[in-house]
Amino acid sequence: MKHARVMLDGKTFDATERDGRLLLADGRTVDFDGVTWLPPLAPTPRPRTILALGLNYADHAKELAFKAPEEPLVFVKGEGSLIGHRQLTVRPAGVTFMHYECELAVVIGKTARKVQRSDAYDFIAGYTVANDYAIRDYLENWYRPNLRVKNRDTCTPIGPFLIDAADIADPMALALQTTVNGKVTQQGNTKDMIFDVPFLVEYFSRFMTLQPGDLILTGTPDGVVDCQPGDVIVTEIDSVGALVNTIAAA
């Protein structure tokens, strides 16, 4: 099932996709264009943890002239960086290189601690698409992206839908694609991750407890290009969805 969260007439609704429209929790159906899209994540009683992978595709590491990591290269993001489908991401004035990152986002479904790799999928609620923008001007080093790179307001569109884990036959065999103004600029496949989804759930849960609603952003393949104000970016993953975002000037 495809789950969404949207705003309509100043109110927030849970919704599901039904025959190319949105079925709201109150029983109404509306067009995709008739709502404001929010991140497709249920509210949590605490800030959710967002764990993001850097250089998790060997081709992207090579593209950036870095050696592929021998263990997960991870940083933590704030929830305030998330925005929904069809929203605007701000490009700060004066920067010279800002690029998208099409990523499979894993949503944890139940408390996970010391999970075995073989059981990892039992702890996943579903999947969505993330576009984790980066500004290369602000990057201090490859190991530790600073706050201005990965924790800016509007820097991480996510959505449009959360797809139930049961509806994705193999999350490690999904094609990824990004277009900029309709031109294909990035292609890849989740099978090329250095550290796959079951490994990551096992790895993180060894030393920290993952809670329902927590996110793992699994990295991006090569093919990133500079994005300018007015550019329309579509990050798409087979069976998960196509996330639309537009760059705005500061």
pLDDT band with cut points at 50, 70 and 90 for residue 142 = low
100 forms beta bridges with: none
- Output the CA torsion sign for 148, 153, 155, 159: positive
Tell me if 130 sits within 8 A of 157, measured CB to CB.
yes
**Of 54-63, 124-133, 178-187, 225-234, where does mean pLDDT reach its minimum?**
54-63
Domains of the chain, CATH where assigned:
1-38 (2.30.30.370), 41-249 (3.90.850.10)
Residue 46 exposed, middle or buried by CB count within 10 Å (0-12, 13-18, 19+): exposed
Whole-model pTM: value is 0.95
| Residue 145: pLDDT over 70 | no
* pLDDT tier at 35, thresholds 50, 70, 90: very high
> Looking at per-residue confidence, does 5 or 55 come out higher?
5
Torsion angle (degrees, nearest 10) of CA 170, 39, 52, 1: -10
Q: Using alpha carbons, select from 179, 99, 82 the residue that is nearest to residue 135.
A: 99
Per-residue pLDDT of 68-112, as tens digits, reads 778 999 999 999 999 999 999 999 999 999 999 999 999 999 999
Contacts for 10 with CB less than 8 Å, ≥ 6 apart: none
